[in-house]
Amino acid sequence: MSFTRNRYVLAADLVGFVCAAAGAFTLRFDWLFATYRHEFPQFLVAALLIKPVVFFLFGMYRRVWRYTSVSDALGILLASSASSITLAVVMFLTIVGHYNGGVARSVLFIDWLLTVAFAGGIRLSIRLLGENKARALALQRANGHRTRRVLIVGAGDAGVLVAREMQRNPQLGMIPVGFLDDEPDKRGKHLLGLRVLGGTTDVETAVRRHDVDEAVIAMPTASGQTLRAIVEGCREARVPSRTIPGVYELIGGTVTVSRLRDVDIADLLQRAPATTNPAAPMYLHGATVLVTGGGGSIGSELCRQIARARPATLVLLGHGENSIFEARQALAEAFADLSVVPIIADIRDRARLERVLRQWRPSVVFHAAAHKHVPLMERNPEEALSNNVLGTHNLVEAALASNVERLVLISTDKAVSPVSLMGASKRLAETIVRAAAERTGRAFMVVRFGNVLGSRGSVVPAFKRQIARGGPITITHPDMTRFFMTIPEAVHLVLEAGGMGTGGEVFVLNMGEPVRIVDMAKDLIRLSGLRPEDIPIVYTGVRPGERLDEQLWETGATVDATSHPEILHIVEPSDAPALSRETIETLSSAVASGDRMEIEAALAMLIPTFVPGAMGIPPDAVELTPEA
């Protein structure tokens, strides 16, 4: 029994109760109190009978005190208070009038204070002894393995958690030597026995003075600019740096040493996150939610964050069985009690979609399934239209037939004044969703944003492979820019926007300033421990369908703020005709024929900015020479 395992704690408590009673009388009177305070023996007997019973009823002998926490301290306080109150009542009921008016009230108060101190001290000592024993065992196991002296950059909650874990687990081989933090009030102060050695610009000095082997950046809310400066300081100090995930990656997770990872390009590009609204995804709680493209980069992250809102059922729909299987397994491991339904289906199969939606009756649908690769869609126009346009049309019609309350289309900045087949197909997908909202009054909406880091087909993995083999890095044009955002941040904002819409809106995520691709490449070179001049950069020419830069809304659009600072509501001028049944049939006919000219003619008729045969800037307009 747990009580038996705590018998030594009980024995220590009994000694403590005796000491508390004797101490209370001594402090109130003097050390000769026993000669004239005749109520003491009865007080002591009552204390030894009452306090252990009350402590037992409060579970003080059913806990593992090796892991004493704040909640345990509160339990000690409550148990001590209850036992002292019970003792006071008993004493006043039994001896008032017998011994000079009874027990002095100050004695009862002092006894309570000492009881709290002794009971808390006993249990804290157990924890400290347990930690010392565990530390000694861990050091014994780690004998022969070199420990690393670690500088923690960031003395906030995340930094303290990282430092505490290093101190409690010596087997990690990481010894924290101090903190760096830019908050003036923390300079020179001590946290967990470690000093705040300076600001984030003092990396090189701290490394030199304290023989640092590694830096850990524990600043999940820091901007990319701040992280870039810290990483550069570590590089100049010639120490490796690791970081904890950003705030959006930590959604649903915890800050631990096991989650430390190398600083990545996403960290250097991230912006300081806006204040989140925990109540925003409540429209997902208890709902049946369907995600198309559930195995893709965006879709799988959507599923992860939706799962945190505790939907009744989460339906993963995708065409690739392997990606859906992997997404399903990841959700099962992280959310064991969540009902997850994997569906292998193609959104181009309308009959299949209708059966799935009729069976599961989702109230919310996130449509992330799409072909997104611009040059590939230029070579495969019928795929772009059949999947992105006709597939969206099928999904919207099936959603209307199944009374879906809310549908969110994931769109792209390439849908703005599109010149590529992929961009044009996404523009038409937006039109389909908005037209359905206007026709039915349903909360169907569009959320548009730019490139995301870490998605399939991203330039980052390609750049890393090129750096690993010594270069060159190939870039299409020195002036090429793109909007970038991390996948967790984009998905978080999509979920927030999904709860705002009432029907027909186009929401655009605030992507910040566009990033030059060549600057991104140079950052990746530096993160690899090299200098930009060590890896040649070669310009290969703009590919079919690409533009040098993108825009997030049409010229002349009205841009309104929303309740979230990172989400904008866009009202764009539009002279494009609505997609009637006849128009859809025309597009279907063009797709079935596989005739590129017929497909481009149909798109030009529907989208004024689309020019048949447009390929962006011709490749021969770019000089193919390495960067100087």
Average pLDDT over every residue of 78-100: 74
Does 617 have pLDDT greater than 50?
Answer: no
Residue 395: its pLDDT value, please? 97
Per-domain boundaries in the chain: 2-140, 148-263, 280-606
Q: Which helix (H) or strand (E) holds 151?
A: strand 148-153
460-495 tens-digit pLDDT: 878 888 888 888 999 989 988 888 888 888 899 999
Does 350 have pLDDT greater than 70?
Answer: yes
With contact defined as beta carbons under 8 Å apart, do 246 and 270 qualify?
Answer: yes
Residue 34: its pLDDT value, please? 63
Average pLDDT, rounded, for the chain: 82
Does 252 have pLDDT greater than 70?
Answer: no
Does 2 have pLDDT greater than 50?
Answer: no
Does 623 have pLDDT greater than 50?
Answer: no
Average pLDDT over every residue of 86-111: 71
Residue 427: its pLDDT value, please? 93
| 522 in catalytic set | no
The helix/strand/coil state of 419 is: coil
Give how far Cα 542 sits from Cα of 29, 412, 618, Å.
Answer: 92, 19, 7
> What is the Rg, in whole angstroms, of the alpha carbon atoms belonging to the chain?
33
The helix/strand/coil state of 279 is: coil
Give how far Cα 305 sits from Cα of 271, 289, 400, Å.
Answer: 20, 12, 25
> Do 148-263 and 280-606 show the same overall fold?
yes
> What is the identity of the amino acid at 497?
A
Q: Which helix (H) or strand (E) holds 175?
A: strand 174-180
Does 620 have pLDDT greater than 60?
Answer: no
Residue 337: its pLDDT value, please? 92
523-536 tens-digit pLDDT: 888 877 778 888 89
Close Cβ partners of 580 (under 8 Å, ≥ 6 residues apart): none
pLDDT above 90 covers a percentage of the chain that reads 29
Angstrom distance (rounded) from CA 336 to CA 12: 42
Residue 291: its pLDDT value, please? 98
535-585 tens-digit pLDDT: 899 998 888 888 888 888 888 889 999 988 899 999 988 655 567 788 888
Alpha-helix runs per DSSP H in 441-536: 459-468, 487-498, 517-527
- Under the banding of pLDDT at 50, 70 and 90, the label for residue 143 is low
Residue from 51, 189, 372, 414 carrying the catalytic annotation: 414
Residue 383: its pLDDT value, please? 92
Question: From the CB of residue 273, how many other CB atoms can be counted at a distance below 10 Å?
Answer: 19
Residue 550: its pLDDT value, please? 87
Does 126 have pLDDT greater than 80?
Answer: no
Angstrom distance (rounded) from CA 251 to CA 273: 12
Angstrom distance (rounded) from CA 103 to CA 123: 29
Nearest to 493 by CA among 568, 407, 567: 567
Residue 55: its pLDDT value, please? 84
Give how far Cα 355 sits from Cα of 274, 293, 299, 358, Å.
Answer: 40, 17, 21, 5
pLDDT above 70 covers a percentage of the chain that reads 84
Residue 624: its pLDDT value, please? 32
365 vs 263, more confident: 365
Question: From the CB of residue 64, how many other CB atoms can be counted at a distance below 10 Å?
Answer: 13
**CATH superfamily of this structure's domain 148-263:** NAD(P)-binding Rossmann-like Domain (3.40.50.720)
Beta bridge mates, 409: 367, 446
Residue 588: its pLDDT value, please? 87
Average pLDDT over every residue of 143-154: 76
35-62 tens-digit pLDDT: 667 677 878 888 888 888 888 888 887 7
**Domain 280-606, CATH class in plain words:** alpha beta
| Angle made by CA atoms 486, 489, 495, in degrees to the nearest 5 | 135
Supply the pTM of this predicted model.
0.68
With contact defined as beta carbons under 8 Å apart, do 412 and 450 qualify?
Answer: yes
Measured between its terminal Cα atoms, the distance across the chain in Å is 76
| Angle made by CA atoms 163, 168, 173, in degrees to the nearest 5 | 75
The phi, psi pair for 481, rounded to 5°, reads -130, 155
Alpha-helix runs per DSSP H in 238-290: 265-269
Look at the alpha carbons of 263, 265, 267, 268 in this order and tell me if their dihedral is positive or negative.
Answer: positive
Average pLDDT over every residue of 266-289: 71
Does 259 have pLDDT greater than 50?
Answer: yes
Residue 613: its pLDDT value, please? 58
Average pLDDT over every residue of 25-44: 74
Beta bridge mates, 198: 180
Residue 505: its pLDDT value, please? 94
- Under the banding of pLDDT at 50, 70 and 90, the label for residue 103 is low
